Amino acid sequence: MIKTIFVDLDDVLCDWLKAITVATGKDISIHNGSLELTGAELWSFRERQLGGRQAILDIMEDPEFWINLEKFPWSDSLVETMSQHYEVALLSKASNIPDAAFGKMVWQQRHYPHIPLVLCEDKGLVAAPGKFLIDDDLKQCVSFERHGGRTWLFSSSLELKAKTREQQSAYIDNILANIEAIK
């Protein structure tokens, strides 16, 4: 029986991909949601595309980058739907960048001040039976399950954005149905 739902921020509730595309002027969207890649592999790929780790860090060390991330059309619905049935918390990685952590906290206060925010590098650290993670990072899902939690590997945000509002709602309803089916 699930009691707590953790919801990832980047590319689940906020449009990191769009922001990094705008900030760098490079379209890396085609490789987003490549579920065959682990989180580390995807990062390595993106680093090469964007001109190295420092090029990404220069963007990510600006708190404004995080504060200004846009919500998706489904974000409020996802949080509200889960909140009606479960205790909900936001769970995000700040990649050991203090300014990113600050920016994420401001973003949470701006958009979901009533939902707690947990920041940790390895999301498996907060996993346990009865806890559920919705995340687009396969590596985090694997770690969370290894520590006794259950997960939903979230769709590519790019693919979900291309769908109709009805299809997006159906996708969220499907996540809820799967969580409710867990005994």
Binding site for Mg ion (CB under 5 A): 8, 10-11, 136
Tell the smallest beta-carbon distance from residue 151 to Mg ion (Å). Answer: 12
User: Element (H or E) spanning 57, and its range?
Assistant: helix 53-60
Nearer to Mg ion, 41 or 180 (CB): 41
Tell the smallest beta-carbon distance from residue 81 to Mg ion (Å). Answer: 19
Nearer to Mg ion, 32 or 81 (CB): 32
Tell the smallest beta-carbon distance from residue 8 to Mg ion (Å). Answer: 4
Nearer to Mg ion, 1 or 30 (CB): 30
φ and ψ at 50, to 5 degrees?
-95, 0
Residue whose CB is nearest to Mg ion in the complex, by number: 10
Pairing label, strands 4-7, 87-92: parallel
Q: ∠178-160-177 over CA atoms, to 5°?
A: 10
Tell the smallest beta-carbon distance from residue 88 to Mg ion (Å). Answer: 16
Cα-Cα end-to-end distance for the chain: 5
Tell the smallest beta-carbon distance from residue 164 to Mg ion (Å). Answer: 23
Contacts of 98 (CB under 8 A, 6+ apart): none
Nearer to Mg ion, 90 or 179 (CB): 90
Nearer to Mg ion, 50 or 137 (CB): 137
Question: Any idea of the CA torsion for 72, 73, 78, 80, to the nearest 10 degrees?
Answer: 120
